[in-house]
Amino acid sequence: MKMSLSKLEKFFFIDRLIIHSLDLSLYQASVVIEGQEFHVLDEQGQMLRALSVVEMQKKCAKLNVKHQYLRHTSAYDEMVGCPTKESSNTLEVPLVDNQYY
């Protein structure tokens, strides 16, 4: 499911902001509201993207978020020829917005 950043800014509370680490310096965002995860879109309807975690936090600064997380799913197992696992190798780390922007 998807939702625009401007629409999300109108919510009273957002349970979680998840910043997805896709590559060395490419990040996208999703939010969790009442147990449902939504991908965050910009005003052009494209996935919200940033080149750093701090840049993404700046773009999402107006959201009333209870918790922030950085999520990374590694493709390392596939790259070295390991068999596909039943469980995910997703790493999720809590973040704090220190307002470095």
What residue segments make up the domains of the chain, in order of their start?
2-95
Alpha helices (H) in 12-75, listed in sequence order: 53-59
Q: How far apart, in whole angstroms, are the C-alpha atoms of residue 63 and residue 77? A: 35
- What is the model's pLDDT at position 42? 97
More confident residue, 38 or 79: 38
- What is the model's pLDDT at position 8? 96
Residue 80 has pLDDT above 70, yes or no: no
Q: How far apart, in whole angstroms, are the C-alpha atoms of residue 54 and residue 25? A: 11
State the pTM of this model. Answer: 0.87
What average pLDDT does this structure show over 64-77? 89
Return the number of other C-beta atoms located less than 10 Å from residue 96's C-beta. 8
Return the number of other C-beta atoms located less than 10 Å from residue 30's C-beta. 20
Residue type, 74: S
What average pLDDT does this structure show over 32-54? 97
- What is the model's pLDDT at position 100? 86
